[in-house]
Chains A and B, each alone.
Chain A
Amino acid sequence: GEDVEQSLFLSVREGDSSVINCTYTDSSSTYLYWYKQEPGAGLQLLTYIFSNMDMKQDQRLTVLLNKKDKHLSLRIADTQTGDSAIYFCAEKSGNNFNKFYFGSGTKLNVKP
Chain B
Amino acid sequence: EAQVTQNPRYLITVTGKKLTVTCSQNMNHEYMSWYRQDPGLGLRQIYYSMNVEVTDKGDVPEGYKVSRKEKRNFPLILESPSPNQTSLYFCASTAGALSYEQYFGPGTRLTVT
> A residues bordering B, Cβ < 8 Å?
1, 4, 8, 31, 41-45, 48, 50, 88, 90, 92, 97-105
Contacts and interface: CB of A to CB of B under 8 A. Distances in A.
Contacts of A92: 100
Contacts of B56: 98
Contacts of A105: 42
A43 B41 contact: no
A99 B45 contact: yes
Contacts, number: 48
B44 A104 contact: no
B104 A104 contact: no
B106 A102 contact: no
Contacts of B97: 97-98
Interface in B80-113: 90, 97-98, 100-102, 104-107
29 contacts: A1-B59, A4-B42, A41-B106, A41-B107, A42-B90, A42-B104, A42-B105, A45-B102, A48-B101, A50-B100, A88-B43, A92-B100, A97-B97, A97-B98, A98-B33, A98-B48, A98-B56, A99-B48, A99-B58, A100-B45, A101-B45, A102-B35, A102-B42, A102-B43, A102-B44, A104-B40, A104-B41, A104-B42, A105-B42
A88 B106 contact: no
Contact of B42 (A41, A44, A48, A88): A88
Query: Which of the listed residues B97, B100, B106, B107 has the most CB atoms from chain A within 10 Å of its own CB?
Result: B100
A104 B56 CA distance: 23
The A interface, classified by DSSP as helix, strand, loop or mixed, is strand
A37 to B, nearest CB: 9
A45 B102 CA distance: 8
Interface in B59-91: 59, 90
B101 A45 contact: yes
Contacts of A97: 97-98
B50 interface: yes
A31 B98 CA distance: 10
